[in-house]
């Protein structure tokens, strides 16, 4: 094969590769703050109120059970005093000691009841919260992707994501590339209106999101010696 032929084939090969190179879409970055969208989402605010209410109800139940337990403790103390009363006969002391032991067992059973209820309630709240977060992040991500595509984005980056140093991965971005407010506007299009027919109340500047780690306080019931 002569040199002119090789040159022609090389030019044809380069020419064929050029359209493929130009077919690649240009990289177009957009950024979004997923944490801000989650915290300010009207569904998150609604769920935060429900979680707080359910957490309060669980705590009230624990307090009620604990009150019953404290009554058992007081009864145990009275029986223990009777068992140690030198004025009682041996038979009466033995009976009081038996009653005190039964009361102590009742206290221990009540402690177990409270601990089981508190743990079950806390696990339930945490599971509900985790499920809610997962669904919300998926929902927000889908909407953010739609808005990003409308803006011609080929890459969408969450600027709230922490780096290994615990700070945002993005040191600086031009505000013109941030579509967070645009996504929030899309989110609020589906926000239910108030009962009066007007728009629902605006979210507070710093809304209280659903609790990160629901807990139920568990007072002790150990009888005093």
Helices 42-83 and 90-150 cross at an angle (nearest 10°) of 170
Residue at 13 is within a domain = no
**Are residues 56 and 211 in contact, defined by beta-carbon separation less than 8 angstroms?**
no
* Residue with more model confidence, 216 or 188: 188
User: By C-alpha distance, which of 46, 208, 47, 57 is closest to 122?
Assistant: 57
Residue at 64 is within a domain = yes
Distance linking the first and last C-alpha atoms of the chain:
107
The 3-state DSSP class for residue 187 equals helix
User: Which CATH number covers residue 77?
Assistant: 3.30.910.20
Residue at 146 is within a domain = yes
Task: Report the domain count for the chain.
Answer: 1
Q: What share of the chain is helix, strand, coil (3-state, %, to 5)?
A: 65, 5, 30
How far, CA to CA in Å, does 215 sit from each of 122, 171, 218?
6, 36, 9
Residue at 80 is within a domain = yes
Show the CA angle centred on residue 148, arms to residues 212 and 37, nearest 5°: 20
For residue 207, give the DSSP letter.
-
Residue at 39 is within a domain = yes
- The pLDDT, as a whole number, for residue 19 is 55
User: By C-alpha distance, which of 100, 105, 70, 107 is closest to 85?
Assistant: 100
pLDDT tens digits for range 102-155: 999 999 999 999 999 999 999 999 999 999 999 999 999 999 999 999 988 888
pTM over 0.75: no
Residue at 35 is within a domain = yes
Show the CA angle centred on residue 66, arms to residues 65 and 69, nearest 5°: 95
Owning domain of residue 127: 26-188
For 220, the token pair is 């002790």
Residue at 220 is within a domain = no
Residue at 167 is within a domain = yes
pLDDT tens digits for range 51-93: 999 999 999 999 999 999 999 999 998 888 888 888 888 888 8
For residue 162, give the DSSP letter.
B
> Which residue do the tokens 């929902």 mark?
139
Least confident range of 126-135, 146-155, 165-174, 215-224: 215-224
User: By C-alpha distance, which of 36, 46, 47 is closest to 182?
Assistant: 36
Helices 90-150 and 180-188 cross at an angle (nearest 10°) of 110
Show the CA angle centred on residue 102, arms to residues 98 and 105, nearest 5°: 140
State the Cα–Cα distance between residues 167 and 145, nearest whole angstrom.
23
- The pLDDT, as a whole number, for residue 106 is 93
* Percent residues over pLDDT 70 in the chain: 72
């Amino acid at each position: 094969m002569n040199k002119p032929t090789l040159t022609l084939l090389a030019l044809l090969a380069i020419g064929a590769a050029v359209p493929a190179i130009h077919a690649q879409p240009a990289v177009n970055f957009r950024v979004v703050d997923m944490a801000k969208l989650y915290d300010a989402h009207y569904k998150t605010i609604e769920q935060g109120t429900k979680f707080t209410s359910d957490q309060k109800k669980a705590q009230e139940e624990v307090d009620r059970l604990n009150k019953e337990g404290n009554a058992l403790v007081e009864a145990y103390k009275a029986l223990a005093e009777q068992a140690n009363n030198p004025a009682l006969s041996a038979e009466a002391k033995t009976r009081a000691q038996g009653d005190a032991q039964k009361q102590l067992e009742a206290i221990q059973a009540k402690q177990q009841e409270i601990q089981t209820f508190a743990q079950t309630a806390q696990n339930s709240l945490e599971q509900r919260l985790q499920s809610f977060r997962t669904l919300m992040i998926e929902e927000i991500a889908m909407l953010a992707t739609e808005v990003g595509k409308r803006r011609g984005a080929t890459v969408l980056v969450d600027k709230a994501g922490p780096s290994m140093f615990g700070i945002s991965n993005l040191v600086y971005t031009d505000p013109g590339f941030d579509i967070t407010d645009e996504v929030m506007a899309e989110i609020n299009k589906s926000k239910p209106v108030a009962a009066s027919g007007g728009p629902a109340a605006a979210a507070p500047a710093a809304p209280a999101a659903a609790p990160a780690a629901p807990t139920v306080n568990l007072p002790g019931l150990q009888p005093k010696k």
